[in-house]
Structure 1
Amino acid sequence: MSSASELPEPRFAPASVDASHQIALELRRYLEREGLRPGDRIGTEQELAAEFGVSRPTLREGLRLLASSHLIRVGRGRAGGIFVARTPGEGMSRNVSESISMMLATESVSLGELLDARLFLEVPLAGLAALNATEETAAELQAAIDDATGHTPGTPPFNDADTRFHQTLARAADNELLRAFTDWILEVLQPKLIEEIGSRTDGDEILRQHRDIQRAVRRNQPAAAEKAMRAHIEYLMRVQRGDA
């Protein structure tokens, strides 16, 4: 029989007042503290209820709060349990994207307003990318440009390469919070832009702008990268307004 000293150290403090919210907060902190990744197993309902000292219905309410934030998923069956669905940063990003998508669908915000917001978010992101960029970053940006060359804006090959270009910049910026607040650009804004102005954009001009950004990033020149990104977004704004 195991002695008390041999029991594993508790991962979570026992839940008390407002238990479901405390459970959600403790689990969120646990994901961040342990650096858990999507697919990692946290435990079963029975195990977690015992650790928190609560009933399973109370635990489920806390899990529901986390699931609504896209952080966990519940697997059923013998190999089931509670699994990480997204990191906290990814979960926040998903919430932002869903909120903006709903605002766009209900016309609470216009495409022009989203482009304005993009200008204030993605310009400094490009500067950070240039500051932190490696040779691998520059190579990935160039590969995305090469893959888009010869294709028309609005077609899958061009769109996929364009998305990879901006994803590479976001990763290179190495700022999880800023990245979480800019993921909606690719998830919500880009598809809407393609639908509305894809046929009116000049593919050669887009690629020229991407080359300017890539060159500044490769040379680790933040000011030049910000200037090039600003020119890129302002071009899209002119096309959207019908001025280009």
Structure 2
Amino acid sequence: MAKSAADDPIRNLATRRAIAATRGEKVSRTVARLVARSIADDGLDPGATLPSEQEMAKNFGVGRASVREGLRLLEAQGLVTVRQGLGGGPSVAEPTGAAFGDTMSMYLQANDIRFAEVVEAVIEMEGLTAALAAGKVAAGDVDPDLLRALGPEDHDDASNREFIEQSLGFHDSLRQMAGNYPIALMASALAHLYSDRALGFHASEWSEMERGAFDEQHAEIARAVLAGDVTSARNLAVAHMRESVTMVLGENPTITQDRVDWK
């Protein structure tokens, strides 16, 4: 395992200097930045244990209150998890598009953004990720496991929830194939904001006709991506998302004018 900052006196000294050099910034925010940087520098995986509050306070040369507030900042952003009680403490969380989307919703609410803009962004981002995925295939730069994820879908015995999860999983595979983490994260965050709200307005069960339409459209997108056809992949993904929005919101078109609320 990579050596942590707690075991490295040179890094501890540099960290203390970084804290001391803080100007116009709360110490807790500086602590949060340094912890996040340490997670990246040490290559810590989700679930990895971080030093305790007491250890961090000693290493950083700050009070435990500042460490605690810094960890809360990171926890609110979905970067760490802090478990209370015996055997608890901070650990590395797994950043997700859903967590990023929840944070994004706060900014959208503050700017009085309507759901229609989220829908428009989702449509365009799904087209972009499909195009990027096709480009990666054309360049021969795709993990074979991701290619297999675009294989034929079988929803015959799937429950309504399973069908939705499988359909969302298809788009998640495209985002991973796109090979661009910032774009994939943004697309995933927007998809979360859309699906978290819109899918609740659909009928309780998806009909066989709707499932068949999704399967056929996913298959067309997959063929274009696997053929490395960037233009077709983008156009098919955009058309699919537009039809999906019509299908999901067809009976509730007025929700597009609702404000996006912070989750």
Higher relative contact order (CA 8 A, sep 6+): 2
The percent of aligned pairs where both chains have the same amino acid is 24
> Is the partner of 1:54 in helix, strand or coil?
coil
Q: Distance in 2 between matches of 1:130 and 1:151?
A: 30
Aligned mates of 2:85, 2:162 — CA distance in 1? 40
Instruction: Give the 3 Å change call, closer, same or farther, for CA 47–134 of structure 1 in structure 2.
Output: closer
For structure 2, list consecutive stretches of 5 or more residues without a partner in the other structure: 1-6, 137-141, 252-263
CA distance, structure 2, for counterparts of residue 117 and residue 7 of structure 1: 45
> Do the aligned residues in 2 keep the contact of 1:10 with 1:51 (CA within 8 Å)?
no
Match of 2:147 among 132, 138, 151: 138
Q: What is the aligned counterpart of 2:154 among 147, 151, 156?
A: 147
Out of 120, 125, 146, the position equivalent to 1:121 is 125
Partner Cα distance (1:71, 1:134) in 2: 26
* One-letter code aligned to 2:153: D
The one-letter amino acid of 1:63's match is L
Matched with 1:28 is 36
1:70 and 1:128 map into 2 onto residues whose CA distance is 27
**After superposition, where does 1:95-110 map in structure 2 within 5 Å?**
95-100=100-105, 108-110=113-115
Structure 1 residues 138 and 33: alpha-carbon distance in aligned structure 2, compared to 1, 3 A threshold: same
Which residue is equivalent to 1:13?
A: 15
User: What's 2:163 paired with?
Assistant: 158
Of 175, 185, 188, which aligns to 1:183?
Answer: 188
Match of 1:54 among 58, 62, 65: 62
Amino acid of the residue matched to residue 134 of structure 2? Answer: A
Q: Are 1:167 and 2:199 counterparts? A: no
How far 1:134 moved relative to its partner? 4.2
Q: How far 1:103 moved relative to its partner? A: 5.8
* CA gap 1:180/1:8 in 2 versus in 1, 3 angstroms: same
Segment drifting more, 179-188 vs 32-41: 179-188
In the aligned structure 2, how far is the partner of 1:185 from the partner of 1:7? Answer: 40
Letter in 1 for 2:122: R
Matched residue SS, 1:146: coil
Question: 1:152-198, CA deviations, whole angstroms, 9 ceiling, x for partnerless residues?
Answer: 8x812311210211111111112111122122344332243333245
Taking the aligned partners of 1:189 and 1:124, their CA distance within structure 2 comes to 17
CA distance in 1, matches of 2:73, 2:122: 30
Q: Cα offset for 1:95?
A: 3.4
SS state at 2:50 partner: strand
Which residue among 18, 30, 48 is the counterpart of 1:40? 48
Q: For 1:83 and 1:52, locate their aligned partners in 2 and report how far apart those are by CA, in whole Å.
A: 18
SS of the aligned residue for 1:141 comes to coil
TM-score, normalization by structure 1:
0.79
Q: Is the 8 A contact 1:130 1:217 kept in 2?
A: yes
The more displaced of 30-39 and 47-56 is: 30-39
CA RMSD of aligned residues (A): 2.9
Using structure 2 for the length normalisation, give the TM-score.
0.74
Letter matched to residue 146 of structure 1: E
1:127 partner letter: A
Query: CA–CA distance in 1 between the matches of 2:8 and 2:196?
Result: 52
User: 1 CA distance for matches of 2:201 and 2:46?
Assistant: 34
